[in-house]
A and B are shown apart, each in its own frame.
Chain A
């Protein structure tokens, strides 16, 4: 049976690639329909079972961190493209299985969207779960933030071994009560807490400092242009050069470290693994195009957008900013979340500003009310990218903030026009 499922999936994948499609979802969808029992059977063959990573922000990069760190000792199967529905996990499994249907891995690390994580755990009970945060996101799908937290509660409840929770997000920390698994926590040093606002705190609530002990804790953020962060992993402090930019990724590194500790890894191995993490798809990836540096930043919700805007204070001056807002289903149909992001700081950045995507005009309106003027409103993301690159001098930087569905085309264009850095 597994052999048939794997052949069906792999052939679908090959057919899609032949016609130039990515095929991150469809092979999984086909196998899910024809062989609904495939995924649980395949997962049951993994000696260390499945790790599920979920939460609103940071899933893809954190999944990559966990997979890279576990990769220091184990053979890791993962979906690292941000295709985070159950079909994405099945596609990754099919892709990595051999043609005899066997899965030569020790553990699977899957990023799952909050709603799909619930569907996933209904068919495969994860051995471990890492739950990051709950922020307002895709309310057209989830309705409310509390609904999203309840979904993650179901994931915690289904987990059999270890659940690792973010101590500093009250909605996440409260999930400890929902599970019989062993619970451990990660967090940031209380002095750093104001830099990591939860949804409540973003909207004026008091900063709540968690008091439960964390197995891994962020002690210090990078200073200036250095990528070095300081983490306490178990009982030992380590300095780690983290190639995933931004304070939020330093926090996620603490989560990945705490999860790795549940495997009995020593802190040196965990720190070394974190040093080997490269930026995940569209999360601060850099390309060189005609001597210009182009940075790709995925934005999906207000919290994440605010965090990535903070990465603009880097060493290389930003000469052009392109904001690409699509409103397809996977982006969220409702774009009102853009009004929960404060763009006023952009008015002080001496950069050309472009808006693009289906909601290019909406984005320009949003910027206008923060008194940031848009130089060009160009719905076609590729055209906007080309104009931005053409408008800046060699050595200067173009930063693209893009929602999910435009990211793939932009990524492909950048690979064609330039070289990944």
Chain B
């Protein structure tokens, strides 16, 4: 069995080390003897037919403009994939674009693909700092947030978790990220999977379950990651 991981826009949407999420999943699969094929998808490239996990990261504002039209043109396909249970981990900019729209500070609306029931508004203050998020599905996620868009969730999306010390989705309601089925959006960089191994394995299990495979995963020694997570959660913002 080979799982297919799609890395969306590795060149444009990679600014805060989010590429690391792809590496974490690839290794955690490999260490358990599960083959993983990573397919980078750039502007204009076709998406593979049989995707198990799709990952996208954060980019610069300008890069988000460069890929905007390409991303929008994939809307129907991405919605179909989400309905089909494909696992998606969308960080920061990719999270915003999976929503209904992004309204710039000047009031211009950039339509998203509507996979997640969220809307994001740009503003001038950047929400930056160490952050940890407590989630019902995967325990504590530890990472770093760095964004200026404020995201509000609609009734069709559930928050990924809550944050006590960070700013989260919008700096107002303590929520962080959004979930719909197997689609997860979050502002956590770090990369988030590095210090949140339970979350990484949760994504892998979702992908295996969708294929009807066993979700029993051989345990890995995550002592270092757990130690790093405790240290990071105790550092100043």
Interface residues of A (CB under 8 A from B): 136, 139-140, 143-146, 200, 203-205, 327, 333-340, 358-359, 361-362, 364-366, 368-371, 374, 377
Contacts of A204 in B (CB 8 A): 10-11, 42
Evaluate contact between A359 and B231: CB separation under 8 angstroms. yes
Evaluate contact between B16 and A336: CB separation under 8 angstroms. yes
Which B residues, 181 to 237, have Cβ-Cβ distances below 8 Å to chain A? 189-191, 194-195, 224-225, 227-228, 231-232, 235-237
Contacts of B15 in A (CB 8 A): 136, 139, 144-145
Evaluate contact between A339 and B20: CB separation under 8 angstroms. yes
Question: Contact check: which of B17, B24, B42 meets A338 at CB < 8 Å?
Answer: B17
A–B complex contacts, Cβ < 8 Å, 20 sampled? A139-B15, A140-B128, A140-B129, A143-B146, A146-B60, A204-B42, A205-B11, A327-B235, A335-B144, A336-B191, A337-B17, A340-B17, A340-B19, A361-B227, A362-B195, A365-B195, A365-B225, A366-B20, A374-B224, A377-B227
Evaluate contact between B144 and A336: CB separation under 8 angstroms. yes
Contacts of B4 in A (CB 8 A): none
Contacts of A140 in B (CB 8 A): 128-129, 144, 146
With both chains docked as a complex, state the minimum distance between the C-beta of A381 and any C-beta of chain B, in angstroms. 15
Does B126 have its Cβ within 8 Å of any Cβ on chain A? Answer: yes
Does B69 have its Cβ within 8 Å of any Cβ on chain A? Answer: no
Q: Decide: A203 near B10, CB < 8 A? Known: A333-B236, A334-B144, A339-B23.
A: yes
Does B62 have its Cβ within 8 Å of any Cβ on chain A? Answer: yes
Which 3 pairs across A and B sit closest by C-beta, in order of nearness?
A339-B20, A336-B17, A339-B17
How many inter-chain residue pairs (CB < 8 Å) link A and B?
99
Q: Decide: A139 near B146, CB < 8 A? Known: A340-B17, A369-B23.
A: yes
Which B residues, 8 to 53, have Cβ-Cβ distances below 8 Å to chain A? 10-11, 14-20, 23-24, 27, 42
With both chains docked as a complex, state the minimum distance between the C-beta of B39 and any C-beta of chain A, in angstroms. 14
Does B61 have its Cβ within 8 Å of any Cβ on chain A? Answer: yes
Further 19 A-B residue pairs, CB within 8 A, beyond A140-B128, A334-B130, A362-B228: A143-B126, A143-B128, A143-B146, A143-B148, A146-B62, A333-B144, A334-B16, A336-B16, A336-B18, A336-B191, A339-B18, A339-B23, A358-B231, A359-B228, A361-B225, A362-B231, A362-B232, A365-B228, A369-B194
With both chains docked as a complex, state the minimum distance between the C-beta of B236 and any C-beta of chain A, in angstroms. 7
Evaluate contact between A361 and B228: CB separation under 8 angstroms. yes
Whole-angstrom CA separation of A339 from B27 in the bound complex: 14
Question: Contact check: which of A139, A327, A361, A368 meets B16 at CB < 8 Å?
Answer: A139
Contacts of B195 in A (CB 8 A): 362, 365
Q: Decide: A368 near B224, CB < 8 A? Known: A136-B15, A145-B15, A336-B189.
A: yes
Nearest B residue to A355, CB-CB: B224
With both chains docked as a complex, state the minimum distance between the C-beta of A331 and any C-beta of chain B, in angstroms. 11
Interface centre among A145, A204, A334 (most CB of B within 10 A): A334
Evaluate contact between B17 and A333: CB separation under 8 angstroms. no
Nearest A residue to B225, CB-CB: A365
Nearest A residue to B220, CB-CB: A368
Contacts of A333 in B (CB 8 A): 129-130, 144, 235-237
With both chains docked as a complex, state the minimum distance between the C-beta of B163 and any C-beta of chain A, in angstroms. 16
Contacts of A369 in B (CB 8 A): 20, 23-24, 27, 194
Contacts of A338 in B (CB 8 A): 17
Contacts of B232 in A (CB 8 A): 359, 362
Whole-angstrom CA separation of A327 from B224 in the bound complex: 18
Whole-angstrom CA separation of A136 from B20 in the bound complex: 16
Whole-angstrom CA separation of A370 from B61 in the bound complex: 30
